Amino acid sequence: MEFKKICNKSQDPFEYLFSEDSMQTGSLKEKIKDSSSEKSENELKKNNLINDSDSEESEFEWEDFDIYFKNTLINNSEKEYDLETTIEQKVEINNKRRRHGITKNDRKLRLEIHKLHLLCLISHSSLRNYFCRDKRIHAKLKSILPNEIQQLFNPDKRISQYRKSKMFMNALRATVNIWKRKFKKNKYGISKPFWTISEPNNEYIKKSYDNISCFDDFLTAAEQLQGSRDLGAQLFVALLDSNNVNARLTVFLQPLSYKFDKSSSLHNSISTTSNKNNNNIEFKDNYIYKNTSKNLDITNNFENRNKIEQIELSKYSKSNLLSTSNNFSDLLNDNESDIEESLHPIYWTEALNPSTQKWIFVDPMVSYLVGKPSKMESLISKSKNSLSYIISFDRNGYVKDVTRRYTKHFNSKIKKQRIDSIDEGKKWWEKVLNFYRLDYISQPFDIIEDEEFLERQTYEKIPKSVKDLKNHPLFIIERHLKREQIISSKKPCSYVTIKVNGNQVKEPIFYRKDIITVLSAGKWYQRGRKIKFGEQPMKIVPKYKEFALQNESESTIKHNTIGLYSESQTELYIPPPVVNGKVPKNSYGNLDIFVSSMIPKGAVHLPFPGISRAAKFLGIDYADTVIGFKFEKKRSLPIIKGIIIAQEFEEAVYLTFKIMEEEKNEKTSEKMKEIILMRWRQKVTTNDYHRLKKYDNSEKTTYFGFKEVPEFKKEELVQNVFKSVASSYDKMNDIMSLGIHRLWKDEFVQRLDPGTLDGEPMDLLDVAGGTGDIAFRLLDHATDIHFDTQTKVKCVDLNPEMLEIGKKRLENSRYKYSKRIDFFIQNAENLVDIPSSSINIYTIAFGIRNCTQIMNVLKEAYRVLKPGGIFSCLEFSKISLAPLEAIYNYYTFHIIPIIGHIVVGDRDSYQYLAESIAKHFDQKTFSKMMKDAGFKLVGDGYHNLSFGIAAIHTGIKL
């Protein structure tokens, strides 16, 4: 459990990232919708003649707003202009300034920032949960509860379960009341962030928010019992934990939205306000904002927006509010504190009732509710917020998503705001949660909790508005169907009332499970099926734009539309068989093999690049195999992979192909030998002086972190660092990357795709990988993805302690009795035991920056690789997103050494590792070094991960 408590830590300086003044990127420009195009689109929908697959993004279509024109109208509103002049001015300006649509990269950037923000919030909460479980904190807090309450938490075993449950609930309420009197709120907690362009008020943040930068600060707060409401909720968990109550720290995560909607931009959430005879209350529509400082002017001081309390007053008019302002002052001052924040908490507690084995909601800092989780949704909605992610941390650091407990509208309202509402986001979110539950053993209360969530999902009511039905996982209306969807059942499960021309009309609602996918004849053909004779299309849709343009001269719908069919209207496509060794071909001289069933009877598919040369050499009839299409420069190009031949010629063609490939490799090898000998002769004759001087390192210096040291000493210093941290190396990487390094390593291996090459196993080399983290991943990928049990990996490292960690992991792995992995000592700058041209893939992860002569490492990599072999390096790099650079640098240099001191008692080693990241080359410089070493770069030579925090560099030996 020690690993779970340590590996996912963020620090409190990141609280800046979670406040409303954080993540100050993005655009605040008004979205504009073209009403006329929307109207014509709706008319086409009624005839089932448009593609509605992108309709979910229609309301966010444009993000540019003509501010100049708006200001011009305002400034000139007092002047007199005739109608003709005004219209001419508008047209002229609109022609000069066009609207810019939200691009794919804009959406991708927001999604990545949303993911990063989520990881930071989770890591921050994980660290606070770890602090809450410390016995030193428990010792400070345990005495707060009197013996009578402690006895209620631990009753006599002879008492009935019903009575025990009542005693437990009474004890929780009493504890909340005691905590309410004991803990003083004098700081602000985390608040909802927005996309905005204003600069943060750093001095105000430092003064008015908790400054918990390490465990000692947290311990001091436990002694003083004062701070933000978030800190109070966290310490309340520690209080219950100290009294043997199984308590979970629950947090309402509020990451920056990945959507381009009005609610995610600050200027749409807080607009210009006006004073209404009240020095502290200001109005905007159905909301009031209360100043938290007597000298605060929220009309003029836009930066201090996070000091504003926002409360929904849907039941009150402005006139009624003025007459009852005293009552609302009581409401706002409910906590008897100068700190005024949202009506809902960010942190609270879930305590396990041992009698019922159910988790009890406890809010000790804001609403003081016990056992009423349904109230949370209304509190959050009153603050104009969205209940999106709620997760709980138990006493062992395990995480569980408990959002369903706190909402009755998860499917209709909440899920749309979450990242798991999209396919790729669902897999990512599951992967993140699974990372925090790696070795979790299910308990009886988990079964009860899961049944509760399932019941809430089953009995969730059918939405009664079109907005809530949009993208609903269980229900759908016909207008929300995509281009290639129809509803099989015409019997609706309910109705939604809408207004059409002022009249109320009932629109039927159907189960989403009744949706049938319908495809065109061409798409069914690509799935190995054809339309049955006499079948009529179930749906008629317009052709895609590029195909419709081809028939531009035809004005009838017949030529500009296409029919769609269901799977039940199709049958398996049976291609013509091979006759007398002749392979059937299409009009293009090749053969479509989109699925295996499309291979003709009596034929075989040989999917090897260049194998057609062997068939030509033998004079055997063959057809190139088209397995799909790719789109480049607005053109559809076939993807050809291998050939189709008659079965009787398979062995002859394959053997001929192998012989031809071996001859080709021999010629390539001979040519490379000639080039190497020529270069060596040039080096010997022209660079003798420089070659000899290279071995004289007595006067040369290099950098060990930020320190300048002699070259011959760096290796020893690096050895000492890794000798010190070997036992906690994986934890160290978890800390330095917030646990994301595991995702980086997974992508690193997936991009290499190690496994059988042309039917032959690979020889892999992992350098500076003593713990085996990359080596085991390489073997797992080859085994699980390619079913390759022959590929081998050599794992080398200069540090014996690191290699011992890898050998211990080998003893507990599935490769214990195999000879597929070998650990031994080797210097990356001089791989004396690795023959030249013997390796298919060379990997080095988070190690090359620690080498003395990086250029020598690259040259050795080039030497040991076979022609066509791949060099791939995963390393920390330079961040590419300017707004995150300052936060990342602060975290690297100030937080990592502190955590190193707390976790393993070694601050200096962590300080060096942070400095080595800063001194390492940027992506372009390192790519140029690879090119100078002889590698052919793949693309630009690098692929950024997490905005350049790390990068994968890839080169090929020609």
Identify the CATH number of the domain in which residue 480 sits: 2.20.20
Bridge-partner residues for 530, per DSSP?
571
Average pLDDT over residues 828-840: 90
Residue 612 within any structural domain of the chain: yes
Question: What are 67's two structure tokens?
Answer: 């501010």
Residue 756 within any structural domain of the chain: yes
Instruction: Determine whether 455 is exposed, middle or buried from the number of CB atoms within 10 Å of its CB (0-12, 13-18, 19+).
Output: exposed
CB 491 within 8 A of CB 509: no
Which of 900, 904, 925 is CA-nearest to residue 913? Answer: 900
Residue 687 within any structural domain of the chain: no
Which of 773, 824, 763 is CA-nearest to residue 796? Answer: 824
Q: Write down which residue in 458, 475, 503 finishes a domain.
A: 458
Dihedral of CA 108/110/115/120: which sign?
A: positive
Q: Which residue did the predictor score with more confidence, 380 or 836? A: 836
Task: Answer yes or no: do 500 and 547 share one domain.
Answer: no
Domain span holding position 665: 574-677
Q: Write down which residue in 412, 432, 458 finishes a domain.
A: 458
Which of 920, 923, 918 is CA-nearest to residue 941? Answer: 923
Task: Answer yes or no: do 195 and 305 share one domain.
Answer: yes
Range with top average pLDDT, 438-442, 547-551, 803-807, 841-845: 841-845
Task: Answer yes or no: do 544 and 670 share one domain.
Answer: no
The DSSP secondary structure of 379-439, one letter per residue, reads HHHHTT----EEEEE-TTS-EEE-GGGG-S-IIIIIGGGSGGGSHHHHHHHHHHHHHTTTT
Task: Answer yes or no: do 452 and 495 share one domain.
Answer: no
Question: What are 146's two structure tokens?
Answer: 């009197």
Instruction: Determine whether 672 is exposed, middle or buried from the number of CB atoms within 10 Å of its CB (0-12, 13-18, 19+).
Output: middle
Residue 268 within any structural domain of the chain: yes
CA distances from 263 to 222, 260, 388, 468 (A): 37, 9, 13, 16
Which of 278-287, 604-613, 626-635, 795-804 shows the lowest mean pLDDT across its residues?
A: 278-287
Which of 20, 176, 8, 215 is CA-nearest to residue 734? Answer: 8
Residue 547 has pLDDT above 50, yes or no: no
Task: Answer yes or no: do 916 and 905 share one domain.
Answer: yes
Alpha helices in 183-305 (DSSP H): 202-208, 215-224, 229-242, 266-269
The count of domains in the chain is: 5
Evaluate if pTM is beyond 0.75. Answer: no
Helix axes 711-725, 800-811, angle to 10 degrees: 30
DSSP 3-state of 302: helix
Backbone phi, psi, residue 528, to 5°: 80, 25
Residue bearing tokens 């941390």: 393
Residue 84 within any structural domain of the chain: no
pLDDT of amino acid 95 = 46
Residue bearing tokens 């430092």: 206
Residue 251 within any structural domain of the chain: yes
CATH at 282: 3.90.260.10
Residue 891 within any structural domain of the chain: yes
C-alpha span between 287 and 912 (Å, rounded): 52
Residue 59 has pLDDT above 60, yes or no: no
CB 232 within 8 A of CB 185: yes
Neighbours of 795 (CB within 10 A): 29
Dihedral of CA 564/570/575/576: which sign?
A: negative
Walk across the sheet containing 475-476 and list its strands: 475-476, 503-511, 494-500
Task: Answer yes or no: do 557 and 594 share one domain.
Answer: no
CATH at 785: 3.40.50.150
- Please, what is the Cα angle at 58 between 57 and 62, to 5 degrees? 95
Q: Tell me which DSSP letter residue 565 carries.
A: B
Question: What are 686's two structure tokens?
Answer: 């022209």
Residue 583 has pLDDT above 90, yes or no: yes
Which of 378, 23, 373 is CA-nearest to residue 191? Answer: 23
Task: Answer yes or no: do 651 and 506 share one domain.
Answer: no
Task: Answer yes or no: do 419 and 533 share one domain.
Answer: no
Which of 376-380, 544-548, 863-867, 948-952 shows the lowest mean pLDDT across its residues?
A: 544-548
Residue 15 within any structural domain of the chain: no
Task: Answer yes or no: do 846 and 874 share one domain.
Answer: yes
Residue 366 has pLDDT above 50, yes or no: yes
For the segment 501-532, what is each residue's pLDDT rounded down to a tens digit? 888 888 899 988 889 999 999 999 999 999 99
Which of 808, 745, 743 is CA-nearest to residue 771? Answer: 808
pLDDT of amino acid 137 = 93
Task: Answer yes or no: do 766 and 814 share one domain.
Answer: yes
Residue 816 banded pLDDT, cuts 50, 70, 90 = confident
CATH at 650: 3.30.70.2460
Task: Answer yes or no: do 930 and 793 share one domain.
Answer: yes
Task: Answer yes or no: do 533 and 507 share one domain.
Answer: no
- Using DSSP bridges, classify how beta strands 226-227 and 184-185 pair: parallel, antiparallel or unpaired: parallel
